[in-house]
Amino acid sequence: MSGTAHPGLNLGAAHGKARDRSEKGAFGFWVFLMSDLIIFGILFATYIVMLPARAGGPGPETLFDLSSIGAQTALLLASSFTYGMASLSMKHGGRRAPVALWLALTGVLGAGFITLEMRDFIHMAGEGGVPSRSGWLSALWALVGLHGLHVAAGLLWIAVMLALLALRGLNDAVKSRLLLLGLYWHFLDLAWIGIFTIVFLGGMA
């Protein structure tokens, strides 16, 4: 099979079949992410359609806590950086300890993000901002909640990859999967930047 192997992965021509397989997997995962992006896209559209549907319920000014949102953004962006470090140490070092370390750090930062987000949701519910209150709140909880679910699934995936690293080391299959997890993790960053801009900055503007 022709074509270039995906950057960030040390699967040269010598890897033969592993390289072919990783190419199919990486391409398929990109297609999956595109389709996932449609889901986010429709939820963004729903959110914008629902902006006026406040039904007399609480709005952004009472519900949003921008400093907490800022901290979440920083945590998530930092976790993308640490994931990038994991990818680099996989490509250049080839030893499992640094990869596992960066991966675990990514997981910790992601868990921090989830913790702050949960705190915000609880705070919103306390202010009467529950999804059953208005169409706008329904759209807000669905969009931000779906992103949160994605991050939680990513944390589970990181845990599985750490277990695989411990059991198998950096073999071809593990490398390919770390590549996919990286795509997923950076994709979540991208989705969050959309949420941060449209939902939170837009809401406070």
What residues line the site for other proteins (CB under 8 A)?
A: 1, 17, 23-24, 27-28, 31-32, 34-36, 38-39, 42-43, 46, 49-50, 52-55, 57, 131-139, 141-142, 156, 160, 163-164, 167-168, 173, 177
Cα of first residue to Cα of last residue in the chain, in angstroms, is 51
Of residues 75 and 181, the one with the C-beta less far from other proteins: 181
- Report in angstroms how near the CB of residue 132 gets to other proteins at its nearest: 4
Q: Which is nearer to other proteins, 78 or 100 (CB)?
A: 100
Residues in CB range of 33: below 8 A, 6 or more apart: 183, 184, 187
Give the whole-angstrom CA distance, residue 13 versus residue 45. Answer: 44
CB nearer to other proteins: give 55 or 74: 55
**CB 42 to other proteins: min, Å:** 5
The residue among 37 and 66 lying less far from other proteins, judged by its C-beta, is 37
Return d(Cα 101, Cα 32) in angstroms, integer: 28
H or E element at residue 186: helix 172-195
CA pair distance 39, 16, nearest whole angstrom: 35
Q: Shortest gap between Cβ of 80 and other proteins (angstroms)?
A: 23
